[in-house]
Chain A
């Protein structure tokens, strides 16, 4: 048990955040979580609003995943598609363009793993399309959220 003063889920004055049932339970029973909240570094307290991970709109990885889903290709559990898509999102359109050969090789490797047919030119075209769509979304996002 901890020194957590919360009487139940809800807004916690002491820690300045709303705690749901799960966080309330952690506050009550886990000293490490309670201490982190005491230091202002607990769940919900340390969300840096100015830090953005990845590009501000659907990244190329997200776009490429959507394109593949059109063809009914959603990846298997053993596929690295998700982590590769995340990496592409982190890179953003410009770095993806620069690393086009790497991305195409990822696709080739996955196609081989999944025993799917693979055409290098076609894969390259899909990646370029994803990059293009990502750039378009970024522009739309900027206009919608930042007015420029």
Chain B
């Protein structure tokens, strides 16, 4: 699991199975072996599948009804005990409703290299061993996770310093979950399976995404310059695309302005996972850094780092920052500068929304 994102609220529903029981072909009441595919068993205190193509086993423990389509699942893939071959695939299933409606994350260890591929929505992202956090890599114990949120956001990965794959395009409402393995040559071993709700009673149970109150912003946002006056007027309506960047575990949404005047700006929207989450002042765990006019910050003279105004909202995402000011004397900032008009002052706000 992503260490710092993992929190626990006592009232959150959760279920786990560490498989620490005697060897048996019966994997226990927490699992629906009969409804699955392949031959699953408890072996050496692990969940073991002996080598069946597209094998699958689902848990009998659904998330509560009001959390359908929202869950965080983690499991340890034991490649230390099970040899793998090229194409060996380990799968986490989430938001499972039926065989045609579910989310899956596929983790593939490429035998010929040190790279793991993580696939969601048919998009594969390579994660190399050297990117993994050594304290959690723990030999060949791979800590894999899948986060599914009800707005269609899905994130999957391993404990890693590289960016986990993230998709915002599929909304499933199933409550079940499970594991899969696809290889007819070698078996697959899993350990320490755990699942928890994403949120409960307005509280976040698992921080897979940096939330605004309990809403996870998309990975692609847009900043709009608005209410721009006088010297700043030319910025009004201008936009900068903001894209989520992992930054080795310190994520932010970054963007650089394009085109005349806007190219004076770059923006960094930061989010603090454990930051203030007051319903009366949404988005207080976010801040916007405006870099404009070189190191002197001349395009944002009234302070280049602001938190959102109190009229901001999280659902829909509408984070309002400002006012920023461009003063008459700051000619280092060339945005909107018109030598014919001469030096005048101006203000502007920046509003961050979904894209």
Please say whether chains A and B are actual partners in one complex. Answer: yes
A41 to B, closest residue via Cβ:
B313
Among A23, A32, A51, A65, contact of B310 (Cβ-Cβ < 8 Å): A51
Point out the residues of chain A lying under 8 angstroms from B270, CB to CB: 82-83
Q: Evaluate contact between A26 and B353: CB separation under 8 angstroms.
A: yes
- A26 to B218 alpha-carbon distance, docked (Å): 14
Q: Do A46 and B322 form a contact, CB below 8 Å, given A33-B354, A66-B295, A86-B306?
A: no
Point out the residues of chain B lying under 8 angstroms from A61, CB to CB: 303, 305
Q: Evaluate contact between B239 and A62: CB separation under 8 angstroms.
A: no
What bracket does the count of chain A residues touching chain B fall in?
Answer: 35 or more
Main secondary structure of the interface of B (DSSP, over half): mixed
A138 to B, closest residue via Cβ:
B302
Q: Evaluate contact between A54 and B316: CB separation under 8 angstroms.
A: no
**A33-57 vs B: 1/0 string, CB under 8 Å?**
1001000011110111101111111
Q: Evaluate contact between A57 and B318: CB separation under 8 angstroms.
A: no
B346 shortest CB reach to chain A, Å? 11
- A112 to B287 alpha-carbon distance, docked (Å): 24
Point out the residues of chain B lying under 8 angstroms from A69, CB to CB: 295
Among B268, B295, B353, contact of A33 (Cβ-Cβ < 8 Å): B353
Q: Evaluate contact between B289 and A86: CB separation under 8 angstroms.
A: yes
**B321-353 vs A: 1/0 string, CB under 8 Å?**
111010110000000000000000100010101
B227 to A, closest residue via Cβ:
A47
A80 to B, closest residue via Cβ:
B250
Point out the residues of chain B lying under 8 angstroms from A74, CB to CB: 295
State whether the Cβ of A58 lies closer than 8 Å to any Cβ in chain B.
yes
State whether the Cβ of B222 lies closer than 8 Å to any Cβ in chain A.
yes
B307 to A, closest residue via Cβ:
A53
B88 shortest CB reach to chain A, Å? 33
Q: Evaluate contact between A77 and B354: CB separation under 8 angstroms.
A: no
Q: Evaluate contact between B316 and A89: CB separation under 8 angstroms.
A: no
Q: Evaluate contact between B318 and A53: CB separation under 8 angstroms.
A: no
Point out the residues of chain B lying under 8 angstroms from A145, CB to CB: 325, 345
Point out the residues of chain B lying under 8 angstroms from A46, CB to CB: 311, 313, 318, 320
Q: Evaluate contact between B304 and A62: CB separation under 8 angstroms.
A: yes
State whether the Cβ of B97 lies closer than 8 Å to any Cβ in chain A.
no
State whether the Cβ of A20 lies closer than 8 Å to any Cβ in chain B.
yes
A31 to B, closest residue via Cβ:
B316
Q: Do A62 and B227 form a contact, CB below 8 Å, given A18-B236, A82-B289, A83-B272?
A: no
State whether the Cβ of B64 lies closer than 8 Å to any Cβ in chain A.
no
Residue of A20, A36, A74 with most partner-chain B CB within 10 A:
A20
Interface residues of B (CB under 8 A from A): 222, 224, 226-227, 236-239, 245, 247-250, 268, 270, 272, 287, 289, 295-297, 301-311, 313, 315-316, 318, 320-323, 325, 327-328, 345, 349, 351, 353-355
Interface residues of A (CB under 8 A from B): 18, 20-23, 26, 30, 32-33, 36, 41-44, 46-49, 51-59, 61-62, 65-66, 69-70, 74, 77-78, 82-83, 85-86, 89-90, 141, 144-145
